Each structure stands twice: as structure tokens, then as C-alpha cells.
Amino acid sequence: MQTRPFRSVLYIPGSKARALEKAMGLPADAIIFDLEDAVAPDEKGKARVLLAETLQGRDYGARAKLVRINALSSEWGAEDLDVIASARPEAILLPKVDTAAHVEDLARRLDARPETAETQIWAMMESPMGVLNALSIAQAPRMAGVVMGTNDLAKDMGCRFRPDRLPLLSALQLPLMAAKSAGIVAVDGVYNAFKDADGLRAECEQGRDMGFDGKTLIHPAQLDIANEVFAPTEAEVTTARRQIAAFEEAKARGEGVAVVDGKIVENLHIVTAQQTLARAEAIAEMTE
């Protein structure tokens, strides 16, 4: 069961020394250090060196640290991996993953390096082919998470952006179900209007209700809302504890179900309640 918090996953440009420094004090559960879209072509060489040195010399605490390299099929991807490997990255986020073969290729390259023996792989789900191959991708070697690339996905699908994201729902749900079946993390795509707090909250709530573990973010101003929405509320924690206690009492009486607030509580509800408490505890530990 995944308990490590991934409520807020913030993109940070790998080329910006000031942003890399500032990120150490931000309340993000995870950081994606980006060498791909956030870095101009003529800056990529400097960015990968700066990022490798930063990750080796700076302490980002309990935050999960992912490095998004350029696609291995690009002119920059292989060198990104060569340089970043020295920093022993926690995870490599691979963009433009269309098939499990893309993940398997990266896994073989990581296997060949002793310094990346523990490095995990995350995959960007940002193309129709990637979405349709989501299950095999999620089950590929070293896979630990998927990130929805909703901007590229919408572009490739030719669909319009709507507040309800109705045109994207199937494309969001397929990788989400694949991740859940493989027991790995699933993180929702970005919300582009970073000054629109109400719109961000609505989209976070939608992603949370669908089952995503958190949301990728493009600006530090979005962190508080994502952290709040994707965390269990006090009421949910209280209810979870009451359900567990009531179910234990019912079992002691030789009964298979309990009743809490007029609702039946069975074993499946207890699993959900235990997950809620585990998430709350993990968030509390990280905050401390």
C-alpha cells in the first residue's frame, strides 16, 4: 500500500539555480527537476551539470526527488542520464512514453550503472498511444509512478479544455487504473492558470475523487491548495477511526459487519479506513 505523500508534485526548471535553492524550503511532497520542457535547447548542457551538482550538494529533506530527462530518442536524453546518474537520483521521470519498451530501455541503462541500482522510473503519460498501452507500461521494470501530461495529451487528441475535463476523462482514467492495478503512484496533470485558485481547487478535487494520489504543479502558489485537497480531512480521519473501532467490536461479538452513522461497515470499508489513517500519519511525519 502506497502511503508516502504525493499530494503536491512541483516542477522546477533544472536550469535555474535560484529556483533550485528556493525549492528546498517549499512545502512540496515531491519535486520534478525538469531538464525537458522547462529548459531551452541551448541551456540543456549547463542545466544537467547544474542539477547534478545541486542534487549532490543540497538536502531536499523528505521530499521525493524526480528528474525529468529528455526523451532517450532525442539528442539530449542519453547525456542527461550520463550526467544525472552521478547524483544517484531517486527516480527518473521519462517523457513521451508510448510503450513499455521505452521503460525497458531506460531500465537496462540503469541496470548497467552501479550508482543507479536503486533508481526508480516514472513515466509521463502524454500521448494517445501511451494511454492505450498504460497497463504494460505500469507493469514494466522499475516502474514506480505515472504522471499525466494533460497538455500534450489534449494537443494530440485535438480536444478542447473544459473545466469539467470531460473530453479527457477516459484518457485520465485508463493510466490511473493501470497504476492502481500495478500498485504504483498516479499523479494528475498540471493546471495552467496558476493564478486561478478556485479553478485549481475544483480540478484538484476532481482528481482526488477519481483516485489520483496528487497533482503536478507549475507554480509554488499552487502548493497549499493541492496539499489541502489531497490530504484526509479531520472528519475523514475521525470517521475512519470510528469505523475501525466499531468493526473490531462487531468482530468481538462474532458479527461480520458494523454500523456507523446508519451505514453498513464491512471489511472493505476497513481497508479504506486504514489507508486513510496511513496517509494522514505519513503526511504528519513529513510535515514534522
**Ranges of H-type helices in the chain:** 17-22, 44-57, 77-84, 100-111, 128-132, 134-138, 150-157, 169-182, 197-210, 223-229, 234-252, 267-287
Cα distance from N-terminal residue to C-terminal residue, the chain: 22
| Residue whose C-alpha is closest to residue 124's, from 153, 97, 156, 143 | 97
pLDDT digits (tens, 9 = 90+) for 122-144: 999 999 999 999 999 999 999 99
**What integer best gives the mean pLDDT of the chain?**
96
What gap in Å lies between CA 179 and CA 129, rounded to an integer? 16
List the chain domain ranges: 8-229, 234-287
pLDDT bin (cut points 50, 70, 90) of residue 288 is: confident
User: Does the structure show a pLDDT above 70 at 60?
Assistant: yes
C-alpha cell at 56: 549532490
CATH topology of domain 8-229: TIM Barrel (3.20.20)
- pLDDT tens-digit readout, 152-161: 999 999 999 9
Distance CA 23, CA 278 (A): 26
Q: Tell me the per-residue pLDDT of 5-38, one tens digit each, with 9 for 90 and over.
A: 999 999 999 999 999 999 999 999 999 999 999 9
| pLDDT tens per residue, range 82-100 | 999 999 999 999 999 999 9
**pLDDT tens profile 159-203:** 999 999 999 999 999 999 999 999 999 999 999 999 999 999 999
pLDDT of residue 107: 98
* Rounded Cα distance, 73 and 96, in Å: 10
**Total Cβ atoms within 10 A of residue 61:** 9
